Amino acid sequence: MAEIPKDLKRRMYRGGAKQQLWMCMAFTFVCWACLIVGIVGDAIDETLGLEPTSWFLISLGFLLAAVWHYFKAYHAAKEE
């Protein structure tokens, strides 16, 4: 199997593991915020901008983005 060039690794793991973990943490906080807004909107039976189901799906998307950045941080730390 061919070795991956160094500059391609740098482009894949922009900023290194530390920045990827910060992004993971930011996406996780936004995920929790969207989930709480959806739960509160469902509890008071109001639409807070979007339907509660939409808030849940948005939080699921942010959770997947957080997991993606976590794996990128893991692989970036492994490469360093």
Task: Render pLDDT for 1-55 as a digit per residue (tens, 0 to 9).
Answer: 567 666 666 666 667 788 889 999 999 999 999 999 999 999 998 888 999 999 9
- CB under 8 Å to 63, separation ≥6 — which residues? 27, 28, 31
pLDDT for 60-77, tens place per residue? 999 999 999 999 888 888
pTM: 0.78
pLDDT at 4: 66
The gap from C-alpha 52 to its chain's centroid, in whole angstroms, comes to 20
pLDDT at 40: 95
pLDDT at 79: 72
